Structure 1
Amino acid sequence: MTRVVRRPFTFWRRSIQARVVASTLVLTIVVVGVVGMLLLRQTRDGLLDNRVDAALAETTNETQDARNRLESALLSDVDAAQQQRELVEPIIQRGLTRNFSVLLVGPVGSASGRPAAGGSTYTFGLDRSSVPADLVAHFSEPADMAWTYTTIRRFDTATDTASTEPGIAVGTQLTLPADGRTYTLYLLFPTTGEQQTLDLVTRALLTAAILLVVLVGGVAWLVTRQVVTPITMARRVAERLAAGQLEERLQVSGEDDLARLATSFNQMASNLERQIGQLEELSRVQRRFVSDVSHELRTPLTTVRMASDVLHDAREEFDPVTARSAELLQTELDRFESLLGDLLEISRFDARAAVLEVDDVNLVDVCHRVVESTQPLADQRGVRLEVHAAVDPVLAEADVRRIDRIVRNLVSNGIDHTGPQGPGEEPRVVVTVAGDDHAASITVRDHGVGLEPGQTARVFDRFWRADPARARTSGGTGLGLSISLEDAHLHGGWLQAWGRPKEGAQFRLTLPRRQGVALRRSPLTLIPSDLSERRSETMRQEWV
């Protein structure tokens, strides 16, 4: 379910075309909606204004005709009720043919002066409550013609049903000669035709808006496709170039900006292929040079080694200066042989020719064996070596020769750089081994000068030293940590360094228990546990 939900969001983030088309559609909908609302509002106002003008003109004509008929009435005609009927009935008849309703109420100021009261004369089926209350209130006393919008209600006695429709209510006042009192005449004009016209215009605008949005969306899709397709092709070719397929090129068609971009991209790819080829050739020559030199130096080195052994064995017969020279010659030959071996190993890593001889290795045994072999060097420096490990073996699928070399390099490096932890304390290097179901780890902790910020990233560089003036007492070549890092990567493991000035350093090797399994965590922390305990103790003392 999560994958199904994430897929549209992933597509939205990665597709420029989808975002451009969606943005265009949203903007088009907003613009069409605003314009459509304005057009509908103007159309409605125009229709209603025309209907109001027609209703007022109709009402004026009917009022004038009624007054003319009242002025021509005989003075002997003094029956007010009959005069009302004779006044209203012609108007009602014309209303039936001209589609308007009539309501006559009055006289003004009497109890029957309101539509809801009795005595009203009106079009058959008209609900007298169709006249709005505010318009009735306006004519509660003599006033000029007025109008307002209303809802016209009718009741059909034949079908016993009620109906409503929007309309316009226009009111005017007349004076009957029979009693000399003022009556209110209401004419109600339905606006159903205007509403139907407005609905028709609304449907037309809605249909046009939908077609316009679809058309704009299609145009935006076609336009963005013309632009995005070359970009997509460039992305795919760039991914193939990054994957090592340096012969990939973009297809160029036309002479526009995108075609010139494709041409520039192809030129860049060609230059990149040529330069990478030159670098690969140079690297190959360098690797071959290092390998050839290392091999060619073996023969003269063997001869020099034989002569050095003879001189070293007979050094007691020489004078002190010559004897010391023989010892220095032997030491430097040992270092030179180590350097040749390391260079050969580095050349194998560079050529990607290094392979693992995997077996089940007990890392606890490896650490004890390395500590025993480096104990003479530690005794010479006055450093105590400690191994902290559980009784149970910590097994991992690894190349025992390479793991032994990694641990040996780390321990030798710790012996070179360690120092006393405090006044009167003996310098020590602590090797810790631990494991869990997924990984096995070894840490080597020293208490020397430590590492400055940023040096942990460079400590595995070839021939790099934190202090260039510091002598290598263990005879190192400057390639040990670099080879150790390559050995760790060859196992699919980690080799990490931590250090802080005057607080020493710690290196952590983490290996998967089974080859091919990706590491996710390490059984041991990179920051030394003794540092955390020391800080906690200091904080407790300060608190006390």
Structure 2
Amino acid sequence: MTLRLRLLLAFAFLSIVTAGAVAGAGYVRARDAIVQRAQDNAVIETTNRVEQLYPLPARPPDAASLERIAGRISGREGSALAQARGVVAGSMDPSLITPELRSLVSSGRVGWQRVPYGGGVWLVVGMQLRVTPAGAPGGSSTDSSGIEVYVLRPFTSEIEFVGELARNAWLIGGAGLILALGLGFLASRGVLRPVRELQLAAWQLGQGDLSARVPVRGRDELASVASTFNSTASSLEHYVGELQRMEADARRFVADVSHELRTPLAAMTAVTDVLDAETADLPGVAGQAARLVNRETQNLTRLVNDLIEVTRFDSGTAALALDEVDVAEVVRASLRMRGFTDVTTSLPTDVRARLDPRRLDVIVANLVGNALRHGAPPVSLTLWIEGSSLLISVADSGPGLPAAVLPHVFARFYKADSARGRSEGSGLGLAIAWENARLHGGTLVAANRPGGGGALFTLRLPLGGER
């Protein structure tokens, strides 16, 4: 759930609770006031009409007198009923008088009750007619006349008005909800705008744009977060710039040193070649020293050449010299030139591809040399076509690559065994092979053979030389 949706839901919930509480409380108070006022008015009006009946006749009431009483207090909109000593008169239906109301009136009090009648709500008001006994001082006490009167008055208009109040309360609540949602939307836009800007700047920073910054507005918490982000981004830009400068200096230093070493190494190689040719005539220790110098000179030359190749990849100057070649012939020549005779090959004929033969030679030499040095025989090389790709796999029968080594096998200067001697390789061969595969637009993947029993390197290159 997004932050904007959560804010809108919070505003909606708050508005519903607030509108419900305010409109509900207002509705209840208004309803009670209206109903109470209507009931009070009905009781007062009925009482006033009853008072107009006094003084009551001294004789006991009969049906005719009860009918007159009922007629005088019924009013224009309602009906009335008068009863005394079992005699009932009037136009009101006696069944509308509930036992509770009848009991209340019989006790001498004024009572009223709402009842359903004729498809609406009506109000029944009941009371006793009381008289002052003869000789009572100042009317200080009254006695029941034995006459009970009940008046039926319409109450539908008041109920309809209360219903209108309820509908208005719902309408006001709905309008309040819509208004709250609108305000919530505007507020969420204002609150989330800095968050979106921060998100965009963080994404740009993650994509490598170290100049990404967030506008700082106001002095609230979001402005503080934006300021902190900008400060962090500035520091990161500074330190990354320093690291890039140091890396560029280191690469330039390696490139300069490698190129400077090529000239003396060429002379040293020429001299060691002469010494190597004469080692048979040299005494034992001198011959051994000459062979050692020749071998280490060759290792140093190979290391310098590898470093120069790496600096070309880093500087982006490495380029392909594409040519239409017989892939099997290039592989055979690479193995033959380096004396890799203990390799089982499966090289179908007439497999032609457009690639850089020198770089393919480097890839094959590094993969096979690595398998012979660190694996175990037999080593096999297989060439085949899959779709529009050329695939070459090199597998050995050694212990395979440990799981901790697989993620780093193509890293520069990485050696699985830190105790391994420097004469066993510079740690750049597989890295250079991987860079050459990438330069062709292909891939080089390291894994272990299914079921164990050796490492497996698979080279995939496009047949047409596409990048």
Normalised TM-score (structure 2): 0.76
Asked whether the equivalents of residues 15 and 180 of structure 2 are also in contact (C-alpha less than 8 Å), the reply is: no
Q: What's the counterpart of residue 538 of structure 1?
A: none
Asked whether the equivalents of residues 370 and 408 of structure 1 are also in contact (C-alpha less than 8 Å), the reply is: yes
Distance in 2 separating the partners of 1:354 and 1:165: 97
> Are 2:151 and 1:151 equivalent residues in the alignment?
no
Q: 1:45 to 1:516 in 2, by over 3 A?
A: farther
Paired residues, number: 450
Q: What's the counterpart of residue 121 of structure 2?
A: 166
Distance in 2 separating the partners of 1:142 and 1:215: 52
Among 439, 442, 447, the residue aligned to 1:490: 439
Distance in 2 separating the partners of 1:478 and 1:430: 22
> Are 2:312 and 1:343 equivalent residues in the alignment?
no
C-alpha displacement at 1:494, in angstroms?
Answer: 3.5
Q: 1:40 to 1:137 in 2, by over 3 A?
A: closer
Asked whether the equivalents of residues 25 and 217 of structure 1 are also in contact (C-alpha less than 8 Å), the reply is: no
Distance in 2 separating the partners of 1:171 and 1:108: 16
After superposition, what is the alpha-carbon deviation per residue over 1:176-198, rounded to whole angstroms, capped at 9, x for unaligned? xxxx9998845243142353255
Q: 1:283 to 1:173 in 2, by over 3 A?
A: same
Distance in 2 separating the partners of 1:195 and 1:104: 26
Q: 1:253 to 1:136 in 2, by over 3 A?
A: closer
Among 104, 118, 122, the residue aligned to 2:91: 122
C-alpha displacement at 1:480, in angstroms?
Answer: 1.0
Asked whether the equivalents of residues 430 and 446 of structure 1 are also in contact (C-alpha less than 8 Å), the reply is: yes
Among 256, 260, 269, the residue aligned to 1:296: 260
Moved more, 266-275 or 247-256: 247-256
> Are 2:43 and 1:86 equivalent residues in the alignment?
no
C-alpha displacement at 1:307, in angstroms?
Answer: 0.9
Q: What's the counterpart of residue 316 of structure 1?
A: 280
Amino acid at match of 1:47: I
After superposition, what is the alpha-carbon deviation per residue over 1:51-72, rounded to whole angstroms, capped at 9, x for unaligned? 3444455556666777x67x52
SS in 1 for 2:416: coil
Asked whether the equivalents of residues 66 and 83 of structure 2 are also in contact (C-alpha less than 8 Å), the reply is: no
Among 429, 444, 452, the residue aligned to 1:480: 429
C-alpha displacement at 1:89, in angstroms?
Answer: 1.7
Moved more, 352-361 or 140-149: 140-149
Q: Write the mapping of 1:39-188 to structure 2, written as runs, cut at 5 A.
A: 39-56=26-43, 58=45, 71-72=56-57, 74-75=59-60, 78=62, 80=63, 82-92=64-74, 94=75, 96=76, 99=77, 101-102=78-79, 104=81, 121-122=90-91, 131=96, 135=98, 147-153=112-118, 164-170=119-125, 185=150, 187-188=152-153
Asked whether the equivalents of residues 82 and 148 of structure 2 are also in contact (C-alpha less than 8 Å), the reply is: yes
Q: What's the counterpart of residue 526 of structure 1?
A: none
C-alpha displacement at 1:210, in angstroms?
Answer: 2.2
Amino acid at match of 1:43: A
Amino acid at match of 1:102: S
C-alpha displacement at 1:504, in angstroms?
Answer: 3.1
Q: What's the counterpart of residue 385 of structure 1?
A: 344
SS in 2 for 1:354: coil
Distance in 2 separating the partners of 1:495 and 1:364: 18
User: Structure 1 unaligned runs (5+)?
Assistant: 1-11, 114-119, 154-163, 420-426, 518-544
After superposition, what is the alpha-carbon deviation per residue over 1:245-265, rounded to whole angstroms, capped at 9, x for unaligned? 555555556666665655554
SS in 2 for 1:496: strand
> Are 2:432 and 1:463 equivalent residues in the alignment?
no
Moved more, 396-405 or 321-330: 396-405
Q: 1:141 to 1:502 in 2, by over 3 A?
A: closer
Asked whether the equivalents of residues 20 and 173 of structure 2 are also in contact (C-alpha less than 8 Å), the reply is: no
Asked whether the equivalents of residues 465 and 478 of structure 1 are also in contact (C-alpha less than 8 Å), the reply is: yes
Normalised TM-score (structure 1): 0.66
Amino acid at match of 1:478: G
Q: Write the mapping of 1:132-531 to structure 2, written as runs, cut at 5 A.
A: 135=98, 147-153=112-118, 164-170=119-125, 185=150, 187-193=152-158, 195-196=160-161, 199-200=164-165, 202-203=167-168, 206-207=171-172, 210-211=175-176, 214=179, 217-218=182-183, 220=184, 225=189, 227-247=191-211, 249-250=213-214, 262-358=226-322, 376-377=339-340, 379=342, 385-387=344-346, 398-419=355-376, 427-433=377-383, 436-437=386-387, 441-471=391-421, 476-499=425-448, 503-511=453-461
SS in 2 for 1:168: strand
SS in 2 for 1:292: helix
Q: What is the percent sequence identity of the aligned residues?
A: 32
Asked whether the equivalents of residues 84 and 148 of structure 2 are also in contact (C-alpha less than 8 Å), the reply is: yes
Q: 1:27 to 1:309 in 2, by over 3 A?
A: same
C-alpha displacement at 1:325, in angstroms?
Answer: 3.0
C-alpha displacement at 1:470, in angstroms?
Answer: 3.7
Q: 1:73 to 1:410 in 2, by over 3 A?
A: farther
C-alpha displacement at 1:204, in angstroms?
Answer: 6.2
SS in 1 for 2:403: coil
Distance in 2 separating the partners of 1:49 and 1:511: 93
C-alpha displacement at 1:358, in angstroms?
Answer: 4.8
After superposition, what is the alpha-carbon deviation per residue over 1:448-468, rounded to whole angstroms, capped at 9, x for unaligned? 233333221122222221123
Distance in 2 separating the partners of 1:108 and 1:296: 137
Asked whether the equivalents of residues 142 and 173 of structure 1 are also in contact (C-alpha less than 8 Å), the reply is: yes
Q: 1:131 to 1:268 in 2, by over 3 A?
A: same
After superposition, what is the alpha-carbon deviation per residue over 1:430-456, rounded to whole angstroms, capped at 9, x for unaligned? 444555446554443333233333221
Asked whether the equivalents of residues 201 and 214 of structure 2 are also in contact (C-alpha less than 8 Å), the reply is: yes
Q: 1:329 to 1:257 in 2, by over 3 A?
A: same
Asked whether the equivalents of residues 47 and 194 of structure 1 are also in contact (C-alpha less than 8 Å), the reply is: no
Asked whether the equivalents of residues 109 and 140 of structure 1 are also in contact (C-alpha less than 8 Å), the reply is: no
After superposition, what is the alpha-carbon deviation per residue over 1:191-218, rounded to whole angstroms, capped at 9, x for unaligned? 4235325524752673376257526743
Moved more, 315-324 or 427-436: 427-436
Asked whether the equivalents of residues 448 and 502 of structure 1 are also in contact (C-alpha less than 8 Å), the reply is: no
Among 16, 19, 23, the residue aligned to 1:32: 19
Asked whether the equivalents of residues 16 and 177 of structure 2 are also in contact (C-alpha less than 8 Å), the reply is: no
Q: 1:152 to 1:332 in 2, by over 3 A?
A: same
After superposition, what is the alpha-carbon deviation per residue over 1:333-359, rounded to whole angstroms, capped at 9, x for unaligned? 222222112101111122222233456
Q: 1:131 to 1:490 in 2, by over 3 A?
A: farther
Asked whether the equivalents of residues 410 and 507 of structure 1 are also in contact (C-alpha less than 8 Å), the reply is: yes
